[in-house]
Amino acid sequence: MAEQLKNLYSKEFIEKLANKLFLSYPNFEKENFINSIFDNTWQDLELKARMRHIALILHKFLPSSYDKQLEILKEAKEDFTGLEAMIFQDFVEVFGLNDFSNSMNALEVFTINSSSEFAIRQFILKYEDKTMNQMKLWAKSKNEHIRRLASEGCRPRLPWAIALPKFKQNPTKVLEIIELLKNDKCLYVQKSVANNLNDISKDNPQLVIDFVKQNIGKTKELDWICKHACRTLLKKGDKEVLDLFNFDKSHHINLTNFCYDKNIFLNEDFNFSFEINSHEVIGNIRVEYIIYYLKSNNNHNKKVFMISQNSIESTKKRFQKKQSFKNMTTRKHYIGTHFIGILINGVEVLKEEFYLNDTRN
């Protein structure tokens, strides 16, 4: 998790939180609360661990009644939005699992201008049917944040969150939510629906393919959801999905003038360019490139990157790209032979090798 994100919970944030809580609860011990937050573990905690730490300390300084705690937190939440506000939902996740009704009400309030997508998952695991029924009600809300929660909260593979193994195996209940939201006019909700379907495609690709077959061509918004939902399947070159989006014709396209760096250095860019042309209008086309990264065991791991996905109404098109070979926390590069490939409508039409050297002296 990116280190800078944990710094959302700065001293200024904690002081603001303490002041807001004091306004709602005059017995709140502001100074003791702040000192308890910044204990000897604080510096080593990452974002989600800091959320949990704040929730646990909050509990010690609020009244013992969960009902009263929620009243105070709801008033304070009005002055907090976005990712930083998820401390309120985290409180519910930790201390509200045995009070379904009050917790659902709190998560509905807290998700507005923030998101309860992480916290709701513990309730799905403990009260699957009750929680999914609640989410069906949320899917009909007038508020876009609440409607989005209905989809985002039940994604089988939501990033940074615990997985939902039963929904990875059988997403039928998730698809019921998606059916309620697939025609939503809000882009915020549409993105969540598409991401949810993309999650499903990783374990149950045929269910998503069937969804696309049933819904493509109905509205512009639903077409967008269908294509975005299939991005993993498109990257894998699934022929049925490529056909559904008319990326099935590539035999008329030639790739020429491929130029690339045959030798590069660590922490620099790999540059390449090429042209595609045809004796007729190129038309609907998906152009991607693959980097076959050398791994520590001397095998190669391929990663696909998008270049272009649209209709080209001409007989030729030139592309120029670069790929960073700077080491990151998410990827370490190894010295040696790598490969680049070019995909046109899911078909690899070219593959060349290049060599990564150690950093320049």
**What CA–CA distance (Å, rounded) separates 13 from 28?**
17
Domain 3-244, CATH number (from 3.30.530.20, 3.30.300.30, 2.60.40.10, 1.25.40.290): 1.25.40.290
Domain formed by 254-357, architecture: Sandwich (2.60)
More confident residue, 329 or 141: 141
Fold identical between 3-244 and 254-357? no
Identity of residue 60: K
Place of tokens 């995909």: 343
- Distance from chain centroid for Cα 121: 16
**What CA–CA distance (Å, rounded) separates 343 from 307?**
10
Q: For residue range 258-304, list pLDDT tens digits in order.
A: 999 999 999 999 999 999 999 989 988 999 999 999 999 999 999 99
The Cα-based distances of 222 to 60, 199, 215, 267, 326 in angstroms read: 47, 17, 7, 41, 38
Confidence at residue 271, expressed as pLDDT on a 0 to 100 scale: 98
**What CA–CA distance (Å, rounded) separates 272 from 323?**
9
* pTM for this entry: 0.85
Question: What is the residue-averaged pLDDT of the chain?
Answer: 94
Q: For residue range 67-123, list pLDDT tens digits in order.
A: 999 999 999 999 999 999 999 999 999 999 999 999 999 999 999 999 999 999 999
| pLDDT surpassing 50 at residue 135 | yes
The DSSP symbol for 53 reads H
Q: What would the two tokens of residue 271 be?
A: 């540059």
Confidence at residue 227, expressed as pLDDT on a 0 to 100 scale: 94
Identity of residue 349: V
| pLDDT surpassing 50 at residue 151 | yes
Confidence of residue 2 (pLDDT cuts 50, 70, 90): very low
Q: For residue range 39-66, list pLDDT tens digits in order.
A: 999 999 999 999 999 999 999 999 999 9
Domain segments of the chain: what residues? 3-244, 254-357
* Secondary element (H or E) of residue 222: helix 220-229
**What CA–CA distance (Å, rounded) separates 227 from 216?**
9
**Residues whose CB is less than 8 angstroms from the CB of residue 50 and which lie 6 or more positions away in sequence, other chains included:** 6, 9, 42
| pLDDT surpassing 90 at residue 3 | no
Q: For residue range 224-244, list pLDDT tens digits in order.
A: 999 999 999 998 889 899 999
Residue 69 class from Cβ within 10 Å (0-12 exposed, 13-18 middle, 19+ buried)? buried
